[in-house]
Amino acid sequence: MVRMRTVWLLFAIVAFCSFQQLFASDDVILYESFDDSFEGRWIVSEKDDYQGVWKHAKSEGHDDYGLLVSEKARKYAIVKVIDEPVNLKDGTVVLQFENRLQNGLECGGAYLKYLRPQEAGWKANEFNNESPYSIMFGPDKCGATNKVHFILKHKNPKSGEYVEHHLKFPPSVPSDKLSHVYTAILKPDNEVRILIDGEEKKKANFLSAEDFEPPLIPSKTIPDPDDKKPEDWDEREKIPDPEAVKPEDWDEDAPMEIEDEEAEKPEGWLDDEPEEVDDPEATKPEDWDDEEDGEWEAPKIDNPKCEVAPGCGEWKRPMKRNPAYKGKWQAPQIDNPNYKGIWKPQEIPNPDYFELDRPDFEPIAAVGIEIWTMQDGILFDNILIAKDEKVAESYRQTTWKPKYDVEKEKQKAEDEAASSDGLAGIQKKIFDVLYWVADIPFLSAYKLQILDLIEKGEKQPNLTIGIIVSVVVVIFTVLFKILFGGKKQQQTRTEKKPTESAETSKNEGSSGEKEEEKEAEKEETAAEAAAAPRKRTSRRDN
């Protein structure tokens, strides 16, 4: 027994030493666990706009500490300067951190900024949204924005200007309140991989125009700004047939609807009864002044006699479609013999074009959190910069995975308790699939609508079937447009042209006050619509 205890003790010592050696590896450039208070090691911005209070707090349900966003509707800024700047040009670099949205995230950021050296023109105690960074990475969600950002700020070698290059089609932010770990792996072959909870969600190439907007390498050619469309250029693919003649029997004045002469008044129709009568239970208010308020009239209610009768008031024959209606005559469309296609200016060499073998990464000299959020309870933890992705994987397994497993089991138990028949679990899997569908690139134009449907379904599980049908309709609509988008659909005479209602957000870097104003306008419009009285529909209308 003594010998066995000795063996286990030696094993524990060896394991502990190995663990310590791993975490003290030369491949680890920066590691912040927040086991100790951040004060003295992290610098809180003294700028007036950033009034949010940071706290050193435990993650709910764990003994593990993190950096907590403690107040709602605040701007936050805090930074940690690295001992030696990190060179992103040499070999692999891994950026990783944990994030837990303990109260969810409806409008706010939860990303990190990896800042350039202070020689670029910033001070730690004045850290703000203008402080120059190399990379911005992490969750951001508000209004039209719902993505795990990856933004590279790159210096244009010709103009000398720094340009933000956004990763196209980034993954969505997980919608739950569990701990998640976000990883960005920068490879020397220009590849960047985005992982969430160790699972690859996006792979891209820094130099590919398909992966970053705007692309790091400009186009070789651009449209000639001096090229003008010739006056005789005809872009009409179809034209009215000039030889067509309106038929002599075509009556353009015939109405669309006529009275149904075969209709008969239903038996028991109450011609002399009004549809509404004075409310017999209504009484004149005691403070009503006829001179100031006018003659008091009792409010109207539906006539009870009409409830049991087929209808009340003057009976009129219903309308039906006029079989003789043809509408305004139009000549049929024929192929335009002078059609030359859609005109485009000729391409000329781009004077701003340059070639690039590898991005000219700026070194990382500090890690900062600069966010604006309507949510509290956002917890940052285990911030890591490493040279080896295996090191990052080890950290995920030792620092994040145990917490996540506990939270997942707790959530599973709560879901089972809330729905003993297992329906909630099935719905969760369905929504997980729908989130995956929303990230499909060819559905990017409809991503926001799909995410909005999913969020409504999570709040109202009884809508799940309807949401699935809606998403399927969207998919088939997009596929139809892809397959037949080149064919122009001729509008019928009764169709109306759609109006443009979508606006593109100009600020994709981070969520801001504009998103809050948009949300407030939507809520105000909805409130006005809800408060407006509804017009009573008569039986004749029905």
pLDDT, one tens digit per residue, over 98-143 is: 999 999 888 999 999 999 999 999 999 999 999 999 999 999 999 8
Range list of β-strands (E), 208-296: 212-213, 221-223, 238-240, 257-259, 276-278
Q: What is the pLDDT of residue 532?
A: 41
Distance CA 483, CA 444 (A): 17
- Residue 75 pLDDT > 60: yes
Question: Which candidate, 219, 260, 245, 241, places its Cα nearest to that of 348?
Answer: 219
Stronger pLDDT, 240 or 428, i.e. the higher one: 240
Q: What is the pLDDT of residue 419?
A: 64
Stronger pLDDT, 449 or 530, i.e. the higher one: 449
Region 23-41 average pLDDT? 87
Pairing state between β 347-349 and 221-223: antiparallel
User: Residue 323 — pLDDT band, cuts 50, 70, 90?
Assistant: very high
**What is the Cβ-side half-sphere exposure of residue 135, based on CA atoms within 13 angstroms?**
29
User: Residue 442 — pLDDT band, cuts 50, 70, 90?
Assistant: confident
Question: Which candidate, 317, 321, 322, 320, places its Cα nearest to that of 540?
Answer: 317
Q: What is the pLDDT of residue 227?
A: 95
Judged by DSSP in three states, 255 sits in: coil
- Residue 31 pLDDT > 90: yes
pLDDT, one tens digit per residue, over 232-248 is: 999 999 999 999 999 99
Q: What is the pLDDT of residue 507?
A: 42
Judged by DSSP in three states, 196 sits in: strand
Stronger pLDDT, 527 or 411, i.e. the higher one: 411
User: Residue 508 — pLDDT band, cuts 50, 70, 90?
Assistant: very low
Q: What is the pLDDT of residue 452?
A: 77
Distance CA 41, CA 242 (A): 81
Q: What is the pLDDT of residue 461?
A: 65
Region 86-91 average pLDDT? 91
pTM summary value: 0.64
Q: What is the pLDDT of residue 450?
A: 80
Q: What is the pLDDT of residue 462?
A: 65
Q: What is the pLDDT of residue 529?
A: 42
Distance CA 224, CA 34 (A): 56
Distance CA 438, CA 168 (A): 14
Region 512-539 average pLDDT? 44
Q: How many residues does the chain have?
A: 542
- Residue 427 pLDDT > 80: no
Q: What is the pLDDT of residue 484?
A: 64
DSSP 368-396: EEEEEES---EEEEEEEEES-HHHHHHHI
Distance CA 288, CA 89 (A): 82
pLDDT, one tens digit per residue, over 137-166 is: 999 999 888 999 999 999 999 889 999 999
- Residue 253 pLDDT > 60: yes
Q: What is the pLDDT of residue 451?
A: 80
Assess whether the previous peptide bond of 230 is cis (omega < 30° from 0): no
Stronger pLDDT, 197 or 487, i.e. the higher one: 197
Report H helices in 369-496.
389-395, 401-418, 423-438, 447-459, 464-484
Percent of the chain with pLDDT over 70: 81
Cβ neighbours of 193 (radius 10 Å): 16
Region 21-35 average pLDDT? 79
- Residue 293 pLDDT > 70: yes
Region 439-443 average pLDDT? 78
Distance CA 298, CA 302 (A): 13
- Residue 386 pLDDT > 60: yes
| 468: CB partners within 8 A, 6+ apart | 430, 434
Q: What is the pLDDT of residue 521?
A: 53
- Residue 537 pLDDT > 60: no
Please, is 399 exposed, middle or buried when counting C-beta atoms within 10 Å of its C-beta (0-12, 13-18, 19+)?
Answer: buried
Report H helices in 160-210.
none
Region 372-393 average pLDDT? 95
User: Residue 515 — pLDDT band, cuts 50, 70, 90?
Assistant: very low
The residue type at 227: D
Residue 507 sits at the vertex; the CA angle it makes with 501 and 512, to the nearest 5 degrees, is 100
Report H helices in 24-173.
none
Q: What is the pLDDT of residue 485?
A: 57
- Residue 340 pLDDT > 60: yes
Least confident of 181-190, 357-366, 451-460, 514-523: 514-523
Least confident of 46-55, 327-336, 473-482, 533-542: 533-542
Q: What is the pLDDT of residue 56?
A: 96
